[in-house]
Amino acid sequence: MTPLQRYIAEEIATDHAEGLLSRREALRRLGLLGMGTPAAVALLAACADSGKKSSPTTTTAVSSPATTTAAGSPTTSAAAPPGTATALQPTAITFAGPEGRTLQAAWAEASQPRGGVLVIHENRGLTDHIRSVTGRFAGVGYSALAVDLLSEEGGTAAFTDQAAATAALGKIPQDRFVADLRAGLAELQRRVPGKRLGTTGFCFGGGLTWLLLTSGTPEIAAATPFYGPFPDGGEFTGSKAAVLAIYGALDTRVDASRPAAEAALDKAGLPHESYIADNADHAFFNDTGPRYQPTAADEAWRRVLDWYGRYLA
């Protein structure tokens, strides 16, 4: 399995261990990824055992040049998700991609853009939630573009089974992701000429944000990956981005890659900080999902806008 396939498989197993997926559904989804039944059963068992043995930490610490922390207990809130009050409605567009391919995307244009943001979706594809986030950035002054990484397969909307869309993403070569995202950056640059570019990705998209940064993308001035796994042996050669990395303190699986990310950022001499949200799990920013944590999401959004205000505007 590729690292991204392994990440998706582990996420499915974690969702099962935490009661978000039935065993039958978890095995079905792992099968769609191409994992045989014995391997899938073993993965579910290993993840369940790991969950029993580990006690998630709620500490916050880290970063260079500054260490940032935040508190926040899980709460129920009637308040609107962060950024939605001023969000603009994105439009569906297509543009030329690599090797003559056509890419689909959601585009939201700020009236007076302070910069541009490439939004990278989760392993469910270009969903309404990601379209909403794209519109939220435009509403606060950053024109935003979210590329549908399933464009060649007909787009996310072509999949009636969300698990099938996830499996399709797991079978795409990493080089194609990087090429399509670079095309997205070029399209964004064309639409906001003379402005600095940032990139924000969530979960699987957070991992792709790291992958894009370590593939040599000097046009990215700032990045804010949300709980994304850092690629093994990743280095920031050629990158000039200021990075705000966002994690949930309960998300021990992804948080385990944080030291490697910080070490690589230190080595490259790039400005960076890590925000670890207390009492928040993986995908805590997604207000359409079961792990949404409004207090942590509000604080993360505030920090992202502060970061882009410093390094993009």
Q: What is the pLDDT of residues 7-30, one digit of tens each?
A: 999 999 999 999 999 999 999 999
Band of the pLDDT at 222, cuts 50, 70, 90? very high
Q: Give percent above pLDDT 90 in the chain.
A: 87
User: Which DSSP string corresponds to the chain?
Assistant: --HHHHHHHHHHHHHHHTTSS-HHHHHHHHHHTT--HHHHHHHHHHHHHHHHH----------SB----B--------SPPTTGGGPPPPEEEEEE-GGG-EEEEEEE--SS-SEEEEEE--TT-S-HHHHHHHHHHHHTTEEEEEE-TTGGGT-GGG-SSHHHHHHHHHTS-HHHHHHHHHHHHHHHHHHSTT--EEEEEETHHHHHHHHHHTTT-TTEEEEEEES-PPPTT---TT---EEEEEEETT-HHHHTTHHHHHHHHHHHT--EEEEEETT--TTTT-TTSTT--HHHHHHHHHHHHHHHHHHT-
Residues 195 and 244 in one domain: yes
pLDDT given for residue 73 in this prediction? 35
CATH of the domain at 66: 3.40.50.1820
Question: In terms of domains, do 50 and 104 share one?
Answer: no
228: containing domain: 59-311
pLDDT (mean) for 269-294: 97
Tell me: pLDDT of 78 over 90: no
Name the band, by pLDDT with cuts 50, 70 and 90, for residue 51. Answer: low
Residues 259 and 186 in one domain: yes
Same domain, 103 and 136: yes
Domain boundary among 32, 55, 78: 55
pLDDT of residue 59: 32
The whole-number average pLDDT for the span 54-81 is 43
Instruction: Kindly state whether residues 18 and 127 are assigned to the same domain.
Output: no
| Count of structural domains within the chain | 2
**87 shares a domain with 226:** yes
**Together in a domain, 41 and 74:** no
Which pLDDT does position 120 carry in this prediction? 98
Q: Are residues 47 and 90 in the same domain?
A: no
Residues 63 and 42 in one domain: no
User: Does 137 share its domain with 212?
Assistant: yes
pLDDT digits (tens, 9 = 90+) for 151-191: 999 999 999 999 999 999 999 999 999 999 999 999 999 99
Indicate if 120 and 16 belong to the same structural domain: no
The reply to whether 213 and 296 lie within a common domain is: yes
